[in-house]
A and B are shown apart, each in its own frame.
Chain A
């Protein structure tokens, strides 16, 4: 009889509790499962982006025409700044993993330094993103929107885009911004663009070398540029208003959906980075106070590290699908 009784006390190692079947602590395992679910969330967003991009395959903006700015330098430098951002995030991932490694050796001084560098890297990344957003929202050249909602860019003869302010001819206009205190109280509008469509059209007619670049991609992977006569016809028959910069409703670079996804996905990622920085700061002060020294384990650094690496991982994908592909 005795032989058939199964022991249920804690002496039985497998079922008595206190064992770690996955050889990892509860907290670390749960961080992994959180990361899996968060990865699915980001995958959902990026897949939705892919859907819209496939749907509007020939009118989607080309990233090289959109993200061309580098701080303090004028000119057209696609990819450079975003490559810098990617590199910053990878570096801060490295300092994080070095902090985890120093934690394994219970080296408090090294953990402190590396955590500090990680936080610094995160802040540099966030500021870069703020810059990226600012230039995107402000816009560069300005464009004309057609009645159908397509975007027309104005180009000179050499194939460089021209800013509206460089050729628009000022005309008198009675149109002013509708504010709720001046007109209907229940509605208002955002600031008017610096130029009216008529001013742009007059300037376009006065400069015979200007042409229009449409929002459609040709066989060669570049946006199609129209001839002078086609350009004039396109502007006169279809042009409707001036678009400057990008927001959730309009986007001078092309489809408004592009701006929406850009704000939403990089914004959600930036939110993750902010949370990561906050967690890193908490851990940093705990390290300084010697909390983990007393606990005898720096595993908390490792858990936050997992999250921080995940943020880097997501950026690798955002980088590919927004800027490269």
Chain B
């Protein structure tokens, strides 16, 4: 692959890098900032973010969203998914995202149910 075959835009064209190397450093800075935000929030845990949103602490939603953002940039720019054809990208990403979302949904649903059985039911510690 020629060096100029890389797509050099991130943020949907908001930031455009001059070369692939420059893009790599740019993405590193972005990932470092996100990690730093996560660590600072993880250490201080602001009281205001402990409110529950959609059944989970707001802070935890922030962590998970930031993680997905990080995963996106690692896959798209470090693993050059941005430069692959759409069919390969969809084969890999859609398959994974669909199966993993489904798995997480059913497993966590079940975990929450078992917790309720312990909490409200007569069973205290069975399995």
Contact = CB atoms under 8 A, between A and B. Distances in A.
B3 A105 contact: yes
Contacts of B2: 104
B3 A101 contact: yes
Interface string B76-116: 01111000110110011001100110011001101110110
Given A93-B74, A98-B24, A33 B92 contact: yes
Interface in B19-62: 20-21, 24-25, 28, 31-32, 35, 38-39, 41-43, 45, 50, 57, 60
Interface in A72-92: 78-80, 83, 86-87, 90-91
B71 interface: yes
A316 B71 contact: yes
Given A98-B24, A310-B79, A313-B75, A325 B96 contact: no
A320 B67 contact: yes
Contacts of B14: none
Contacts of B28: 90-91, 94
Contacts of A52: 111
A101 B64 CA distance: 30
Interface residue tally of chain A, by bracket? Answer: 35 or more
Contacts of A312: 74, 78
Interface of B: 1-3, 20-21, 24-25, 28, 31-32, 35, 38-39, 41-43, 45, 50, 57, 60, 63-64, 66-67, 70-71, 74-75, 77-80, 84-85, 87-88, 91-92, 95-96, 99-100, 103-104, 107-108, 110-112, 114-115, 118, 125
Interface of A: 21-24, 29, 32-33, 35-36, 39-40, 43-44, 47-48, 50-57, 64, 78-80, 83, 86-87, 90-91, 93-94, 96-98, 100-101, 104-105, 148-149, 220-221, 302, 305-306, 309-310, 312-313, 316-317, 319-320, 323-325
